[in-house]
Structure 1
C-alpha cells in the first residue's frame, strides 16, 4: 500500500515521537510512505524507503534516535517564527498554511498515486481532507486531541482567538475524513456528540510504546548514582509540569506514605509550575526525598524509567492517551494512574496496573503502598504490563490495525 503521510507539526516532543513511530511501523509492514510536512521525513533514508517500498533501516533508525532529518537549527527557526506571531496572526498563518499544503499534497498525489492519505489532525488544517475529496483519495484522519477545545483550556500556551472558526474547521475536517482514528474512547464520544462525526467511522486506537527502546532489562544504575538514590524504592513521574498533570496531588500523596523505609520521589521533566511544586515540597519538608531532574531528551528516557520502581500518572486530560504510561508499562514498571475512562483504555485495574480514585490523595497513597509492600504483586503487575505492550499496545500493532481498517473499507466500498 502507498501511504501519503501529512502532518503540520515541528516533529519534536511527544508528537514527533508519535509521527516517527507510525511512519516507521507502516514501513516495517512493507508499505511505501511519502511524507508531506513542515519538518520533512523524520526517518533517515525515508525517501529511499518510500521509493522502493523497503522498510529496511527505518525502524532501526528511529529506535536509535538518529533518524531526524530536519536539523535542530531548522526546527529552532520554525519555532522562533511561530513565537513571533501574536494570537490572531498565528491563527491566520495556520489557515494560510492550507494553500501551500494543498499544492504540495496535490503534487504528491499525482506523482506518488497513494492508496490513502494519512493525516495527523491539527487546528485549521483542512488541506488533506480537501485534497482527498478533490482527488478521490481516501483520507484516514488521526486525532490525538480536540484541538479547538484544548486550546481554550487554562494554561494553554497558544489560546485560541478565533474560537468559533476553529470549531467550524474541526467539525468540517473530522466529518470529511473517510475514517477518524482517535486515541481514547472519550475522544470518540466527544467527536460524535460535539462535532457530529458518524460513530461507525471512528476507530479507537490508543497510543503505544516501542518495546525495543523501552526494554525491561535496561539498568537504572547510572541515574540512581547521578541522583544518589541508592537502593531505595523510587516513585517516578515523567512529563511536562503543568497544572492538569496533577503532580501537586502526587506530592500530597507521597507525603502521606507510611512505610518502614521511606521511598524517594523522582520528578522527570520541567514546565511552567516547577517552582510552585518545589515550594510545595519545601512546605511539606520533603526536600531530601524529592528530586526534580529537569527536562530529559526522549532518547534518554529509558535510562530514567529503569531507575523507577513505581510509576505514577496522577492526572490527564479526559481525551488523552498518555505515552508516559505506556512507556512505563513497556519497561515492566508497575504503574498507578487515575481511574478515568481514557486510562481504562490502557490499564486493566489489578492486572497490568493499578487505578486510584481521581483527585483522591489517600487513594493514590494506598495504591503506591500496596505495590511497595508486596514486591511479588508489583512484579506480576509489571510483567503483565510488558505483555500488554508486546501484544497490542506497540506501534507495529497499531499500524496493523490501521491497515486492517483500510482493507475493510476497501472491501465495503470496492475502491
Structure 2
C-alpha cells in the first residue's frame, strides 16, 4: 500500500524518534511510505543541506514569535499544505494518508475527503489540554480540531485520557485506537553493552544507579526530586543518581548538587545524542520519573523498560496504562515527591526486586510496545484492515 506520512513538526528529538519508528515499521510490513515534512525538516536524516538548515533556522525563528502571530502562521500553513499535499496526492496517488496532527491544520483532512483517500490522524497534541505555549485563538483551534476529529477515517491517541477528553468535547469522533509510544528493541538491547566498562568509565563502578532520561522542565519535577533526595543520600551510601538531559531547570540542579557537595553522587552529563542514550541506560539499575502530566506518553518510559530498567513513576493514567505497580514498574501518587524519594531509597536495597520487575518490563515491551505493534494497530482503522 502506498502511504503518505505528513507532519508539520521540525522532526527533531522525540518527534523524530516517533516519526522514524512508525515509518520504518510500516515499511517493514511491506508498505511504500513517503514522508512530507515541514520545509527544512528531515526526520530520517540527521544531516541537512545548507538550504534546509537555513529553512530550519527560519522555522526556529517563527516558533519564537508572540502567541497570536505564531498562531496566524500556523493557520497560514494550510495554504502551504493545500499546495504541497495536493501535488503529492496527484503524483503519488497514496492509498492512505497518515498525519501527525497539529493545531489549526485542517487542509490535509479536507484534501483526503475531496480525493476519497483514507486519512488517519495521530493525536499527540490538542487544544483541549494545557500546553507549554498558551493558546490565544483557543475557540478557533477547538472548532478546527473538532471538525478534523469527526471527518478523518480514524484516530490514534497516545493515551486514553486524550481520547476521553476529545469524546467529551466533540461528541461523536472517528473510530480510534489507543497507541502509546514504543521503542526500537534492536537499538535498546542491554546485551549490546559492556556494562562494567561503561560504569568504570563514568565513575559508577560499585554503585547502585538510579537514573532519569529527559528534558529538565518544571513539569518533570527533576529539580524538586533532587532537592528532596539530596538530604537523604547519606542513608544509602552506595546509591548514585544519573540524570541525562538538558533544559530550563538544569542550571539550578547543577548549583544544588555543587552546593551540597554531591558531585560524586549525582551525575549530570547534559544532553546526549539519541544514539548514546541506550549506553547511559545500560548503566542504570532502575530509574525514576519524578513527574509527568495527565495526557503524555513519555518516550523515556519505553526506552528504559526496553533495556530492562524498571521505573518509579507517578500514577497518571497514561503512565499507569504502561506500568503495572510492582509488575512492570512502581507507581506513586502523583505530586507526592516524598513518597517517590522513599520508594527510590527503598529499592536501592532490593536487588532481587529491581531485577524481577526490570525483566518483566522488557518482556512487556517485547510483547506489546515495539513500533511494529503501533503500525499494525493504526492499520486496523482502515476498512480493508491495511492490506497491501
Partner of 2:229: 254
Is residue 185 from structure 1 mapped to residue 160 from structure 2 by the alignment?
yes
Distance in 1 of aligned mates of 2:91 and 2:183: 33
Please list, as runs of the form range in 1=range in 2, the aligned pairs for 1:58-69 lying within 5 A after superposition. Answer: 67-68=45-46
* CA positional deviation for 1:78: 3.6
Please list, as runs of the form range in 1=range in 2, the aligned pairs for 1:227-246 lying within 5 A after superposition. Answer: 227-246=202-221
2:177 to 191, 203, 219: 203
* CA positional deviation for 1:234: 1.3
Please list, as runs of the form range in 1=range in 2, the aligned pairs for 1:63-102 lying within 5 A after superposition. Answer: 67-68=45-46, 70-71=48-49, 73-74=53-54, 76-83=56-63, 85-102=65-82
| Structure 2: unaligned runs, 5 residues or longer | none
Distance in 2 of aligned mates of 1:235 and 1:201: 40
Match of 2:140, SS state, is: helix
2:313 to 337, 345, 351: 337
Match of 2:348, SS state, is: helix
Partner of 1:176: 151
Distance in 2 of aligned mates of 1:197 and 1:327: 34
Q: Cα deviation per residue 1:276-309 (whole Å; 9 max; x = unaligned)?
A: 3334445655444222211111111111111111
Partner of 2:89: 109
Q: After superposing the two structures, state which structure 1 stretch, 322-331 or 80-89, moved more.
A: 80-89
1:390 to 322, 343, 366: 366
Q: Cα deviation per residue 1:11-39 (whole Å; 9 max; x = unaligned)?
A: 10101110111111100100111221225
Structure 1 pair 260/108, CA: closer, same or farther in 2 (3 Å)? Answer: closer
Distance in 2 of aligned mates of 1:80 and 1:398: 30
Distance in 1 of aligned mates of 2:169 and 2:198: 45
Tell me which of the two structures has the higher relative contact order, counting C-alpha pairs closer than 8 angstroms and 6 or more residues apart: 2
Match of 1:373, SS state, is: coil
Is residue 323 from structure 1 mapped to residue 303 from structure 2 by the alignment?
no
Residue 10 of structure 1 contacts residue 75 of structure 1 at CA under 8 Å; is this kept in 2?
Answer: no
Is residue 267 from structure 1 mapped to residue 243 from structure 2 by the alignment?
yes
Residue 10 of structure 1 contacts residue 78 of structure 1 at CA under 8 Å; is this kept in 2?
Answer: no
* CA positional deviation for 1:257: 5.1
| Structure 1: unaligned runs, 5 residues or longer | 44-66
Q: Cα deviation per residue 1:312-331 (whole Å; 9 max; x = unaligned)?
A: 11111110000101100000
Is residue 375 from structure 1 mapped to residue 320 from structure 2 by the alignment?
no
Please list, as runs of the form range in 1=range in 2, the aligned pairs for 1:220-231 lying within 5 A after superposition. Answer: 220-221=195-196, 224-231=199-206
Residue 145 of structure 1 contacts residue 319 of structure 1 at CA under 8 Å; is this kept in 2?
Answer: no
Partner of 2:274: 298
Match of 1:211, SS state, is: coil
Partner of 1:160: 135
Distance in 1 of aligned mates of 2:18 and 2:172: 24
Distance in 2 of aligned mates of 1:236 and 1:396: 27
Distance in 1 of aligned mates of 2:86 and 2:115: 8
Partner of 1:215: 189
Residue 119 of structure 1 contacts residue 140 of structure 1 at CA under 8 Å; is this kept in 2?
Answer: yes
* CA positional deviation for 1:208: 0.3
TM-score (norm 1): 0.85
TM-score (norm 2): 0.90
Q: Cα deviation per residue 1:36-90 (whole Å; 9 max; x = unaligned)?
A: 12256543xxxxxxxxxxxxxxxxxxxxxxx446447356424444246433222
Distance in 1 of aligned mates of 2:66 and 2:242: 36
Residue 186 of structure 1 contacts residue 342 of structure 1 at CA under 8 Å; is this kept in 2?
Answer: yes
Residue 126 of structure 1 contacts residue 173 of structure 1 at CA under 8 Å; is this kept in 2?
Answer: yes
2:108 to 128, 138, 155: 128
Partner of 1:33: 33
* CA positional deviation for 1:91: 1.6
Partner of 1:350: 326
* CA positional deviation for 1:229: 2.1
Distance in 2 of aligned mates of 1:128 and 1:216: 41
Residue 122 of structure 1 contacts residue 147 of structure 1 at CA under 8 Å; is this kept in 2?
Answer: no
